[in-house]
Amino acid sequence: MTSRSVSSWGNVTRAEHALYRLRSRFDRFPQVPPGSTVLPYGNGRSYGDSCLNTGGALLETRSLDRFIRFDRDSGLLACEAGVLLADILRFAVPCGWFLPVVPGTAYVTVGGALANDVHGKNHHRAGTFGRHVHRLELLRSSGERRVCSLEESPQWFCATVGGLGLTGAITWAEIQLRRVPGPALDVETVRFANLDEFFALCDDSDREFEYTVSWIDCLARGPRLGRGLLQRANHIESPSRGRPAGRRLSVPFVSPVSLVNAATLRVFNTLHYRLRRTARARGVADFQSFFFPLDRLRHWNRLYGPRGFYQYQCVLPGAGGPDATARLLETVARSGLGSFLAVLKRFGSLASPGMLSFPRAGVTLALDFPNKGPFLERLFHELDEVVSAAGGRLYPAKDGRMPGALFRSGYPQWTQFAPYIDPACSSNFWRRVTEGA
C-alpha cells in the first residue's frame, strides 16, 4: 500500500489517497484499516468526485487487464474489469466485431463503464452498456465472490450496474459484442438553425441511423437558440479504412490559465457552425475519429488550467423535454459563461438495467464549463431548477457538485440501492449526496 495525490478528469478536486491494487482477478480484496473506506478506481475518466474517496483509499483495477475468452462465432467476450475499451476494439475490430455501446472516449475500463452504466450515440437503438453484459463477478470486502446476471443474483446485478463502485469490485465481465462490416462509418452532418429543427430532424435520424449526436452553439440566442450540427452514422463496409486516425498529440502540462474562455469560445463556435458551407455533408470516417475525436489529444483536460472544469449533464424526460432544453440553453446563453462542448442527444426508451443508471427516455444535454467558482455555481443553481421542475436528473459520472436533494429526487431508487453497498466502500460523491438524508 502506498499513497498518492489523485484527481478525476475535471481536475477540480485533488486529494491524497491510500492506494491498493488488484493485480489479477484471483486476488483477494485488500484489508483496509478499521474505520477507513475504499473505492474501486478504473481509469479516472469520471469528471467529478464519483471516482474519488478523499481521506480513504482507492483500489486500483487497471492491472486486471487480461482477456479471458472470446467466441468468434457468437461474439461473447469475457475479460477482466480493468481492460480498456480501446484494447477491446483493437482486438475485436479486425475480426469484425465491435462494442455494443461506446462512450465518447475509449480510455475507460470495463469496470468503469459498468459502474456508470455508460451510454453512447446509439442509445436510441442499444440502450446502455449494462444491457449487453451477460454476467459479471463481484468481489466483496468480506472475500465473498458473487457471479451476477439477470438470472443469478439479479438484485446484485442491478445494484452493481450503475452502482458507482459502491457494491464492491467487479473483477470480470462477459460482454456481448456486435458484428460490424469493418472499421468505417458512413457519416452525415446536417446543420439545423434552431431547437425546433433539431427535434424535427431527430425522428428521421433515429429511425435511419444507428448513431446520432448533435453539437450546439451555446452562445447563439433568440431565433437562433439551439442552432448546431447533427451527426448521424451507420457502420459500413468500406474498401479503404476511411481517414486513418493519425498520431496522438498531447497537452504536456497544465496551462497556467484556462485556455477555454469567452473569447476563444465565441470564435470556435462561430467558425464551427459557419465553416460548414452546406447544410449537409457526407463522408466516410474511421471509427476512432467518429467515436473518440478527443482521444487524439491526450490530456486535453489540462487546457482548462489549474482550477479544472465541470461538466453538467442532465436528462429531461417526457413531453416537457424540448421546452426544458430551450430554457437551459437560454439560461446558459444569458450567463455568457458559454460551454465549449455542448452535446445534445435524444435517449431512446430501452430500460437501463441499473438501479442508479442515469439514462432514461428523454433529451440529454451535456455542457462543459471552466471552473469559475461561485459565478458558475450560481448558474448551476438556475440549471438545477429547470432540471428539477422537468422531473430530470444529473449524471453522477460527470458530477462534482449536485445538491443531495436533487440526486435523491432524481434517483428515488437510491434507498433500495443502499443495502447493497459494501460496508468497506464509500466515495466523495456518495457521502456528499446522501449527507443529511
Partner 1 sequence: MSGTLVIGATSAIAEATARRLAERGDPLYLVARDGERLAAIAADLAMRGSPRVGSERLDANDLAAHEGMLDRAERFLGGLDTVLIAYGTLSDQRACEDSVALTLRELHTNALSVVALLTQIANRLAGRGAGTIAVISSVAGDRGRRANYVYGSAKALVSTFLSGLRQRLSRHGVAVVTLKPGFVDTPMTAALEKGWMWATPERVAAGIVRAIDRRAGVAYLPAFWRPIMLVIRLIPERIFRTLEL
Mask of contacts with ligand FAD, 37-76, x by CB under 6 A? --xxxxxxxx---xx---------x---------------
One residue of 17, 119, 360, 393 binding ligand FAD per CB under 6 A: 119
Q: Which residues of 117-130 are buried (b: 16+ CB within 10 A; e: fewer)?
A: bbbbbbbbbbbbbb
The sign one gets for the Cα dihedral 298, 304, 305, 309 is negative
User: What whole-number distance in Å separates Cα of residue 146 and Cα of residue 260?
Assistant: 45
Is the CB of 1 or the CB of 389 nearer to partner 1?
1
CB of 139 to partner 1, least distance (A): 15
The DSSP code sequence of 218-254 is TT--GGGTT-EEEEEEEEE--SS--S---PPEE--S-
Please say whether the beta carbons of 386 and 296 come within 8 A: no
Size of the site for ligand FAD (CB under 6 A): 32
Is the CB of 118 or the CB of 332 nearer to ligand FAD?
118
Strands 309-317 and 362-370: antiparallel
Q: Is 67 in the site for partner 1 (CB under 8 A)?
A: yes
Among residue numbers 392 through 411, which ones bind ligand FAD (CB under 6 A)? 397
Is the CB of 60 or the CB of 368 nearer to partner 1?
60
**What residues pair up with 58 in beta bridges, in sequence order?**
19, 39
* Binds 387: which of ligand FAD, partner 1, none (CB < 5-8 Å by kind): none
Is the CB of 88 or the CB of 108 nearer to ligand FAD?
108
One residue of 14, 16, 24, 71 binding partner 1 per CB under 8 A: 24
Q: Which residues of 366-404 are buried (b: 16+ CB within 10 A; e: fewer)?
A: bbbbbbbeeebeebbeebbebbbebbbbbbbbbbbbbee
Is the CB of 20 or the CB of 340 nearer to partner 1?
20
Residue 418 has φ and ψ, to the nearest 5°, of -50, -40
- State the amino acid at position 59 in one-letter form: L
Among residue numbers 105 through 144, which ones bind partner 1 (CB under 8 A)? none
What's the longest Cα–Cα distance across the chain?
A: 63
One residue of 12, 18, 89, 118 binding ligand FAD per CB under 6 A: 118
Among residue numbers 83 through 102, which ones bind partner 1 (CB under 8 A)? 91
User: What whole-number distance in Å separates Cα of residue 353 and Cα of residue 374?
Assistant: 36
Q: Is 14 in the site for partner 1 (CB under 8 A)?
A: no
- Which residue ranges make up the site for ligand FAD (CB under 6 A)? 9, 39-46, 50-51, 61, 81, 103-105, 108-109, 111-113, 115-116, 118-120, 164-165, 169-170, 294, 397
- Which residue ranges make up the site for partner 1 (CB under 8 A)? 1-4, 21, 23-26, 63, 66-70, 91
